[in-house]
Structure 1
Amino acid sequence: MHKRGIVYRDLKLDNILLDRSGHVKIADFGMCKYRVTDELKTSTFCGTPEYIAPEIICGKKYNQSVDWWSFGVLLYEMLIGQSPFNGGDEEEVFWSTCNEAAYYPRFISKEAKDILSKLLEKKPQKRLGMPNCSSGDICDQPFFRTVNWEKIEHQELEPPFKPKVKSPSDSSNFDNFFTMEKAVLTPVDLQILMSMDQLQFKNFSYTNLRMID
């Protein structure tokens, strides 16, 4: 995504899913921004509070650096079981994110501490994952020394966990809080719909033929 100029802006545990084979998938691309580079940055304030990078909070222009920060928060949560920056409300979380250093318990390995501290670097240009980071490519970090990235990319490794799925439409692995919600469609004014060019949807799996001459 980054190589294609896309910044994701919503990396968090909620958006990391497993397919029926156990391979990792990223979901919910609603906050993506296209055509973002080192020269052409964006400044929209968006994201999930606990995962928002300091540069977004401070109102600065940013690029893919914010995704590497979110990845650092995500990895911290997976390794330690809590968020690196806490607070009673959003303002306290934002203050902690911008001003406090993350705490690293003794039980994590030095490789884990090393990569977390590089990802949670408050200066985006020095953050791990960015071209100017002196620590090199993220795939070459000691924490990932046993990972065969090429095999992972081609799904040639056996996933350590496979979700129990009865059918392609099985939703038993999702929280009932979401699956019990009623589907509500926002009604669209027919006149507005009729004024739109529907030909651009012609090759979609569903097309309302009544809207196409």
Structure 2
Amino acid sequence: MGQVCIKESKQQTEEAGDAMEKNEIKDSQQLFPEEDNDKGRQQLNEFTILRHLGRGTNGKVMLVQHQPTQKQYAMKVVCKNKVQSLTQKKYIKTERKILEISDCSFITKLHYAFQTQTKLYFIIDYVSGGELFYHLKMNGKMSEKRVRFYAAEILLGLDYLHKENIIYRDLKPENILLDNEGHIKICDFGLCKLCTQGDNYAKSFCGTLEYLAPEVISGDMYSKVCDWWTYGVLLYVMLTGRLPFQNDSKKEMMKSILMEQFEIPNDLSEEAQDLVQKLLKKNPQERLGAIRDGAEIQEHEFFKDIDFVKLERREIKPPFYNDKPFQFFDQNLVRKSTIQDTPVNEFGKYQNFSNFTYKEDKMINEYNKLLIIH
């Protein structure tokens, strides 16, 4: 499943040549005034790297222990030489902002952020149950009871983001984590749109192709209602083990999403079938959630047995929990013998991201949240 967005591909970047690289260095020096990188190195020394957890396009994720507190966290490391375009820098800054201002049980939390000359470091919650994608890969599909629980918690997480004027835009199994008790955590906020007052729409073509809403593909202005389409696709995948629209050709895939109808297996309950059909309405104005956002979806018959008040307080027991550490991670990475944070000595060392450093502090965070949103 491929992610598509307006940022440049690796091949396009290489083709741009040395001239573009020099321009990027100049731009980054103007946009991101220098911070104290010595302080960043000092902060990095406070963390002991225990093992690898995952790898992404721009970096990797490792389990670390904070020596002063002995707490374990996930450390997301982004190489600056992979963040070259202005759009990519925007994604990094957006993720950093949203991780700081978010305060929801179903969203990963930022505890520290710092940078060295060549890398950016996010210290976030360690979520030990792995990706929902891994669980689907093992099981193919899930029971409606299990889907109902995960879908309800994801619903609360998405609804929280919407109330904070954030369009998520990249909901998929790879971006849903399970903690050791079996509760979900939404992660990866680089493609989010942080809306300002009076600006509740977006037009960027970004997200993961198989999950894109029709209005995103068609190039129209779209709102947070696009998230309820991707939510519907995610429900379909969890319930059936496959995508509602599939094609090897990207062009044909987009055509299918825009024009074709999908099939719902008859072995699903009437409530499940009805919910998916109402979420996967091609016209966003007709889609469930278009009028009263997440509240409409909570009221659907599929969730009639869910007490959302108790669920938000995490008082409902999950259908699954993880009792074996690292069981649901890529074992080739987890067992990797080398766990050092390897050095990078390329042009990324010239980039400095202003206001990136962060240390968890309740009162300061509330003040920063007001500044960002208002």
- TM-score, normalising length from structure 2? 0.48
SS at 2:234 equivalent: helix
CA distance, structure 1, for counterparts of residue 356 and residue 268 of structure 2: 51
Shift of 1:113: 1.1
Give the match for residue 173 of structure 1: 328
Shift of 1:89: 2.0
CA distance, structure 1, for counterparts of residue 162 and residue 190 of structure 2: 16
The structure with more helix, counted as a fraction of residues:
2
Q: Deviations over 1:33-73 (max 9, x none)?
A: 10168863110000111100000100011111111000000
Shift of 1:161: 0.4
Matched, 1:142 2:301: yes
Change (3 A) 1:158 1:79: same
Give the match for residue 151 of structure 1: 310
CA distance, structure 2, for counterparts of residue 104 and residue 68 of structure 1: 18
- Identity, % of aligned positions: 39
CA distance, structure 2, for counterparts of residue 203 and residue 124 of structure 1: 38
Matched letter for residue 75 of structure 1: L
Shift of 1:202: 5.9
Q: Is the 8 A contact 2:225 2:284 kept in 1?
A: yes
Q: Is the 8 A contact 1:76 1:84 kept in 2?
A: yes
Change (3 A) 1:114 1:33: same
Q: Is the 8 A contact 2:165 2:200 kept in 1?
A: no
CA distance, structure 2, for counterparts of residue 17 and residue 202 of structure 1: 25
Range with bigger deviation, 32-41 or 50-59: 32-41
CA distance, structure 2, for counterparts of residue 109 and residue 145 of structure 1: 13
SS at 2:202 equivalent: coil
Matched, 1:63 2:223: yes
Identify which of structures 1 and 2 has the higher relative contact order when contacts are C-alpha pairs closer than 8 Å and 6+ apart.
2
Matched letter for residue 323 of structure 2: K
Give the match for residue 128 of structure 1: 288
CA distance, structure 1, for counterparts of residue 322 and residue 328 of structure 2: 8
CA distance, structure 1, for counterparts of residue 348 and residue 275 of structure 2: 51
Range with bigger deviation, 34-43 or 109-118: 34-43
CA distance, structure 2, for counterparts of residue 99 and residue 160 of structure 1: 37
CA distance, structure 1, for counterparts of residue 312 and residue 261 of structure 2: 33
Shift of 1:108: 1.0
Matched, 1:49 2:204: no
Matched, 1:8 2:8: no
Matched letter for residue 176 of structure 1: Q
Give the match for residue 240 of structure 2: 80
Matched letter for residue 87 of structure 1: N
Shift of 1:204: 2.8
Matched letter for residue 174 of structure 1: F
Shift of 1:102: 1.2
- TM-score, normalising length from structure 1? 0.81
Matched, 1:92 2:252: yes
CA distance, structure 1, for counterparts of residue 195 and residue 280 of structure 2: 24
Give the match for residue 266 of structure 2: 106
Choose which of 200, 221, 228 in structure 2 pairs with 1:40.
200
Matched letter for residue 170 of structure 2: D
Shift of 1:165: 3.9
SS at 2:177 equivalent: strand
Q: Deviations over 1:66-125 (max 9, x none)?
A: 110000000001111110001112211111100111101111111111110100000011
Shift of 1:16: 1.1
CA distance, structure 1, for counterparts of residue 280 and residue 269 of structure 2: 16
Q: Is the 8 A contact 2:162 2:224 kept in 1?
A: yes
The structure with more strand, counted as a fraction of residues:
2
Structure 2: unaligned runs, 5 residues or longer: 1-160, 361-374
Change (3 A) 1:127 1:77: same
